[in-house]
Amino acid sequence: MLKRIAEVKDPLISTLALVNPQLQTLSLEEWEMVKETCEVLQPFEEVTVELSAERFVTGSKAILMARGLQRVTAHRQRSPSIYQPIRNMVDILMAEIKHAFLHDRHAEDAVTRVVGAASRSLRPLPLATSSTEEGEGVPQANPSTETVPVIWADFEERVASLRPGVQNPFTEAMLEIKGFLSEPLLPRTSDPLEWWKSRATVFKKTCDVMKTRLCIVATSVPSERIFSKAGQIITDRRNRLSPGKVRELIFLNANL
């Protein structure tokens, strides 16, 4: 609204002077404040538009964009406006912005939660028996009654020492997450779903966790759009539609 007013400043002043000369107009200082307000709110408008999308992943962008807004707003605080209302607005925005990963500890806590979710998705290993006690899930060699030749004794010892030890679900999940974090970062415009599709066989359990997380949208805008579509489908001339038919039409409208 303010951006549009600033764009039509001259025609607006001329029209108001003709239509209602008694109406008090904005001062030059107030027009400058309108312009600065638009500049301050521009990043917030851009973030709102991007996070309101529904055709691509938005949930994973929330923290990054919150951090970006923090930096932009902090820069405004370091280079304050000459107008007190603008400075007050910037201070309020900075205080209300959701905190992102400002500290390494917060990022580590997030990794721990993902590892926990991935380890819970792993199937429990079978109960240990006398034959699997030394290495669950590891195929054991067929027992042999033959005595190992002396020349192979050293080899057998080395193979036994190099064989991976027992790994519980938490350890497996931790190793998988470490491999995921060591992957190179994707370009900002890349589709993370395509990346996960190509890495599904490498990060199996982490991929299972992502399937339940990346489908979460960052805002309620997509659901609000569905309500709006429902209002367009159910009209005075189509008020006899059954609830089941309405659900089917809304589903087709939202997914085709």
pTM above 0.75? no
138 close to 163: Cβ distance less than 8 angstroms:
yes
Residue 93 C-alpha from the chain's centroid = 22
Residue with token string 């589903």: 251
CA distance 191 to 219: 19
What percent of the chain clears pLDDT 90, i.e. is strictly above it? Answer: 20
Asked if 60 and 214 touch (Cβ cutoff 8 Å), the reply is: yes
Query: What does the pLDDT look like over 177-212, one tens digit per residue?
Result: 888 888 888 888 888 888 888 888 888 888 888 888
pLDDT at 152: 65
> Rounded to an integer, what distance in angstroms lies between the CA atom of residue 24 and that of residue 26?
7
Q: What is the DSSP string of 201-231?
A: TTSHHHHHHHHHHTTS-SSSHHHHHHHHHHH
Which stretch of 44-58, 71-85, 105-119, 209-223 has the lowest confidence by average pLDDT?
A: 105-119
Q: Say whether pLDDT at 246 is over 70.
A: yes
Q: If you search the block for the tokens 């190992």, which residue do you land on?
A: 148
**Residue 137 has what pLDDT?**
45
Helix, strand, coil shares, percent, the chain, to 5: 65, 0, 35
Cα(162)–Cα(53) distance, rounded to whole angstroms? 50
pLDDT in tens, 208-217: 888 888 888 8
Q: Are 111 and 105 in contact (CB under 8 A)?
A: no
Instruction: Tell me the mean pLDDT in the region 139-156.
Output: 57
HSE-up of residue 224 (Cα within 13 Å, Cβ side): 7
